[in-house]
Chains A and B, each alone.
Chain A
């Protein structure tokens, strides 16, 4: 297991298109988190799962954003009708409950 992986690493899309990102956590980790990081800022929490249950969503997560973790393993984050303001690095992390969060390399989204 090489750690948390994310796919794709880069995504360029046009405004109004839908995009989907995937995160594969460390295999034994039951918690999975999504963060967003914009230039000059630290990561901002979006949502997290324990197994397949989505336990918390940030107010940053508008109706255009949806995240799933259907089998309690990998997770997807979908953004519908992308806007230029959605351009950011999307980070995924995983952990055992209450333990250290391990981050993936991120997916860089550019909305033209």
Chain B
């Protein structure tokens, strides 16, 4: 079955430190991967998608089909990056399969 795994529930770093939020997926075909973010008291919103290959707010993510991973990275974390991050997979149909999320805390 298709699954998205985010192994860390909580990731805490200091401002300026590098960040890597891990995401692994299980799917034998060619999936489409996304990162969604939810800031405090805000709705879930798209951060980036792998087909765009763009950097948003300094975040990047590369799809590694060999390792079935789509880790989210940022070289220098900012306090405003503190939020809940969800990795999601879309395949065949249009529905999204989400991981359980990782809470990123960036301390000053």
A contact set with B: CB distance below 8 Å:
3-4, 31, 33, 35, 40-45, 48, 55-56, 91, 95, 97-98, 100-106
Contact string, B25-56, partner A, CB cutoff 8 A, digits 1/0? 00000000000100000011110010000000
CA distance A3 to B4 in the complex (A): 27
* A91-B44, A103-B45, A105-B43 known; A42 vs B86 contact (CB < 8 Å): yes
CB nearest to B32 among chain A residues = A98
Does B70 belong to the interface (CB within 8 Å)?
no
Find out whether the CB atom of B44 lies under 8 angstroms from the CB atom of A41: no
CA distance A41 to B95 in the complex (A): 17
Task: Please indicate the chain B residues that have their CB under 8 angstroms from the CB of A105 in the complex.
Answer: 43
Q: Top 4 closest A-B pairs, CB basis? A: A42-B98, A45-B95, A103-B44, A105-B43
Partner of A43, one of B46, B49, B93, B96: B96
B contact set with A: CB distance below 8 Å:
4, 9, 36, 43-46, 49, 86, 88, 93-101
CA distance A100 to B36 in the complex (A): 11
State the Cβ distance, A77 to closest chain B Cβ, in Å.
Answer: 15
Task: Please indicate the chain B residues that have their CB under 8 angstroms from the CB of A40 in the complex.
Answer: 9, 100
Task: Please indicate the chain A residues that have their CB under 8 angstroms from the CB of B95 in the complex.
Answer: 33, 45, 48, 56
CB-defined A-B contacts under 8 Å, sample of 17? A31-B94, A40-B9, A40-B100, A41-B100, A42-B86, A42-B100, A43-B98, A44-B98, A45-B96, A48-B94, A48-B95, A55-B93, A55-B94, A91-B44, A100-B49, A102-B46, A103-B43
